[in-house]
Amino acid sequence: MNHLRAVPDPDATGPRAGSATSVRVEAPGKVNLFLSVGAPRPDGYHPLTTVFQAVRLIETVTARRQALDARGRITLTLADPDDAVPTDERNLVVRAARLLAEATGVTEGVDLLLRKRVPVAGGMAGGSADAAAALLACNHLWGTGLGLGDLLDLAARLGADVPFPLMGATALGHGVGDRLTPLMGRGTYQWVFALAREGLSTPAVFARFDELSAASAGGAGAPAAPAEVPEALTAALRAGDAAALGDCLANDLQEAALDLRPELAEVIETAERAGALRAIVSGSGPTIAALAPDSATAQRVARALCASGACADVVRADAPVAGARVVG
């Protein structure tokens, strides 16, 4: 494998690269404001046009040096153990650390601690945020000093949703969602997220999307290319106009997610009846993301969702927020 050149990054913030014994990084979850899906490519991946927004549901990864006698291993501990989150090589945090080590020739290993706040398998890219945080934390701990461009390349190799949490704020995604362009915007948006009792598998939702598109297009399937983002959406972001943004929210995976979980329709209705501008399935679901016009309405929507008993939990978060950053 070609090693990436590990050089001190002049833009690196936080502890001096390579000198710290512990580096803590925070990275945000996301909501898709727009998600258009094309027909699967020959490699099986679906081409996407999407608009990501980073929300204040924050994952924290702490990377620590190991004792000298334990050096060379990559280990992961969860701050709150969860049966749905593996701690071995299946975890994106471990895979991210290993990929960076291989790409830069580092052999010293790391102890990683993960604190999760993004719902697991909820369509909010929690695992991807963790991987982005792990890349940045290890880059600092090991003093490998890769710049953002190299980290984004490594992130894309880990998964389509991993580059975005490195960038944060609001961004347009092309390719499989990994080719990012930042979008200008102003203002703060108030989101209410209704969490489901059980996660949905992203591949299962895409498979149902393919079945439904084949059935509805007389067997032709989805158009080869995804739709472009409407000008009204980028204009709403530039103006910081929540009501106009609400009108533009769209998710091609919503029908498939609702087909797999019909009870989510009631969650959407409850949120909109309580004053949400719009409520949609977040990414591949099953989280429902409700956009509120202001903080008081967000509180009302959250209360209505809690009282309905139709979801497992409700969390509020404002957006957009910054991408992965070293905090200690």
Q: β-strands 48-64, 170-174: how paired?
A: antiparallel
Q: How far is the CB of 254 from ligand ATP (least distance, A)?
A: 14
**From 161, 209, 278, 292, residue interacting with ligand ATP (rule: CB under 6 A):** 161
Cα–Cα separations (whole angstroms), residue 17 to 37, 67, 150, 294, 327: 40, 19, 16, 41, 13
> Could you tell me which residues come within 8 angstroms of residue 38 by beta carbon, excluding any fewer than 6 positions away?
46, 47, 48, 222, 223, 224, 225, 226
DSSP letter for each residue of 92-126: HHHHHHHHHHHHHT--S-EEEEEE--SPTTSSS-H
**From 70, 79, 84, 306, residue interacting with ligand ATP (rule: CB under 6 A):** 84
By CB under 6 A, residue 132 contacts ligand ATP: no
Query: At residue 238, what is the residue type?
Result: R
Interface stretch with ligand ATP, choices 67-75, 79-87, 99-107, 218-226 (CB under 6 A): 79-87
By CB under 6 A, residue 79 contacts ligand ATP: no
Q: Please indicate if the annotation marks 321 as binding a ligand.
A: no
Q: Which residues are catalytically annotated? A: 30, 161
> Could you tell me which residues come within 8 angstroms of residue 215 by beta carbon, excluding any fewer than 6 positions away?
none
By CB under 6 A, residue 110 contacts ligand ATP: no
Q: How far is the CB of 91 from ligand ATP (least distance, A)?
A: 4
Query: At residue 32, what is the residue type?
Result: N
| Cα dihedral sign, 170-154-29-206 | positive
By CB under 6 A, residue 270 contacts ligand ATP: no
Closer to ligand ATP by Cβ: residue 115 or 300: 115
Question: What is the number of the residue whose Cβ is closest to ligand ATP?
Answer: 127
Closer to ligand ATP by Cβ: residue 127 or 275: 127
The rounded distance, in Å, linking the Cα atoms of 183 and 197 is 33
Q: How far is the CB of 17 from ligand ATP (least distance, A)?
A: 24
Query: At residue 214, what is the residue type?
Result: A
Name all contacts of 304-309 with Cβ < 8 Å and 24+ positions apart. 304/270, 304/271, 304/273, 304/274, 305/192, 305/194, 305/267, 305/270, 305/271, 305/274, 308/266, 308/267, 308/270
What is the contact mask toward ligand ATP in residues 58 to 77, using x (rule: CB under 6 A)? --------------------
Interface stretch with ligand ATP, choices 8-16, 114-122, 222-230, 305-313 (CB under 6 A): 114-122
Q: Please indicate if the annotation marks 94 as binding a ligand.
A: no
By CB under 6 A, residue 125 contacts ligand ATP: yes
The rounded distance, in Å, linking the Cα atoms of 253 and 280 is 10
By CB under 6 A, residue 180 contacts ligand ATP: no
**From 50, 53, 128, 297, residue interacting with ligand ATP (rule: CB under 6 A):** 128
By CB under 6 A, residue 301 contacts ligand ATP: no
Q: Which helix (H) or strand (E) holds 140?
A: helix 126-141
The two three-digit tokens of residue 294, written as one number: 């202001």
Instruction: Report how many residues bind ligand ATP under the rule CB under 6 A.
Output: 22
By CB under 6 A, residue 92 contacts ligand ATP: yes
Closer to ligand ATP by Cβ: residue 91 or 254: 91
**From 38, 40, 47, 122, residue interacting with ligand ATP (rule: CB under 6 A):** 122
Helix (H, G, I), strand (E, B) or coil at 156: helix
Residues near ligand ATP, by CB under 6 A: 84-86, 90-93, 120-128, 130, 161, 199, 202, 283-284
Annotated binding site for ATP: which residue ranges?
A: 119-129
